[in-house]
């Protein structure tokens, strides 16, 4: 009886240690994945800095061209030069597009923490899905 009880306690201890090792391994892999995501987000934000600077320069050049066209318009009537009116409308359209793109880039660059949170949440969801699949439990279709 004592031997059986001793074997049962040892088996329970062994199973507990195996589960603990499995949990530690899964936690380690999850943290490693989160660190990789954080590094990727950080590199992406750093890579956006030259793009942001370049877009600011392009916007400044467009504004300079628009100023030149306005000065030319004061000297002559744009009705006399239809090509200039078309160029000005194209510059206006490009300026709007660049401003919208710059706002999106600024928004992404200004909130890397939120990007990181979204990436970690997506990783956690993927890990939970894989663990559920390993267990053989599949969520009920919604």
Query: Quick check: is 126 in a domain?
Result: no
Query: Quick check: is 140 in a domain?
Result: no
Residue 138, pLDDT score:
59
Q: What does the pLDDT look like over 99-108, one tens digit per residue?
A: 787 777 777 7
Residue 58 has pLDDT above 60, yes or no: yes
Query: Quick check: is 79 in a domain?
Result: yes
Q: What does the pLDDT look like over 65-105, one tens digit per residue?
A: 777 777 776 776 655 666 676 777 777 778 788 878 777 77
Query: Quick check: is 26 in a domain?
Result: yes
Query: Quick check: is 95 in a domain?
Result: yes
Residue 62, pLDDT score:
79
Residues 98/55, Cβ–Cβ less than 8 Å: yes
Number of domains into which the chain is organized: 1
Domain that holds residue 89: 2-110
Query: Quick check: is 9 in a domain?
Result: yes
Q: Positive or negative, the Cα torsion across 133, 136, 141, 142?
A: negative
Query: Quick check: is 53 in a domain?
Result: yes
């Amino acid at each position: 009886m004592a031997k059986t009880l001793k074997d049962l306690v040892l088996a329970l201890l062994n199973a507990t240690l195996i589960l603990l090792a499995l949990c530690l391994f899964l936690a380690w892999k999850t943290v490693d994945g989160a660190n990789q995501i954080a590094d990727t987000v950080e590199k992406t934000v750093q890579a956006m800095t030259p793009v942001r600077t370049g877009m600011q320069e392009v916007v400044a050049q467009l504004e300079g061209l628009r100023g030149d066209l306005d000065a030319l318009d004061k000297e002559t009537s744009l009705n006399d030069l239809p090509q200039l009116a078309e160029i000005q409308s194209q510059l206006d359209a490009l300026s709007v597009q660049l401003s919208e793109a710059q706002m999106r880039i600024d928004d992404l660059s200004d909130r890397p923490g939120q990007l990181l949170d979204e990436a970690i949440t997506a990783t956690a969801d993927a890990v939970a899905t894989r663990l559920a699949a390993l267990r053989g439990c599949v969520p009920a279709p919604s």
